[in-house]
Amino acid sequence: MTTILYAPDGTSSWTGAIVLCNTSRSITELDVKFNHKRIIQTEPGFGAVAAAFFDNQNQQNTLSLKVRRGVDFTGAAFPDPEGALAFALQQPASFPTTGAMQITLAGAGGTNVTLYLPDCGVQAIASSYADLGQSPAFEYTFTGGQITTSNPLPETE
Q: What is the pLDDT of residue 74?
A: 60
Distance CA 137, CA 114 (A): 24
Q: Check whether 32 has a pLDDT greater than 50.
A: yes
Helix ranges (H only) for the chain are 69-72, 81-94
**63 burial class (0-12, 13-18, 19+ CB within 10 angstroms)?**
buried
Which range marks the domain in which residue 128 is found?
2-156
Q: pLDDT class for 156, splitting at 50, 70, 90?
A: very low
What are phi and psi for residue 91, nearest 5 degrees? -55, -55
Q: What is the pLDDT of residue 115?
A: 92
Q: pLDDT tens digit string along 82-112?
A: 887 888 788 777 778 889 999 999 887 888 8
Q: pLDDT tens digit string along 34-75?
A: 777 766 666 666 655 666 655 555 677 888 888 877 666 666
Q: What is the pLDDT of residue 157?
A: 44
Distance CA 66, CA 125 (A): 10
Tally of domains within the chain: 1
Q: What is the pLDDT of residue 66?
A: 85
Q: What is the pLDDT of residue 41?
A: 63
The CATH number given to whatever domain includes residue 33 is 2.40.30
The residue among 74, 64, 79, 68 whose CA lies nearest residue 130 is 68
Q: What is the pLDDT of residue 31?
A: 81
In 24-150, beta strands by DSSP E = 33-43, 52-68, 98-106, 112-126, 137-144
Average pLDDT, the chain: 78
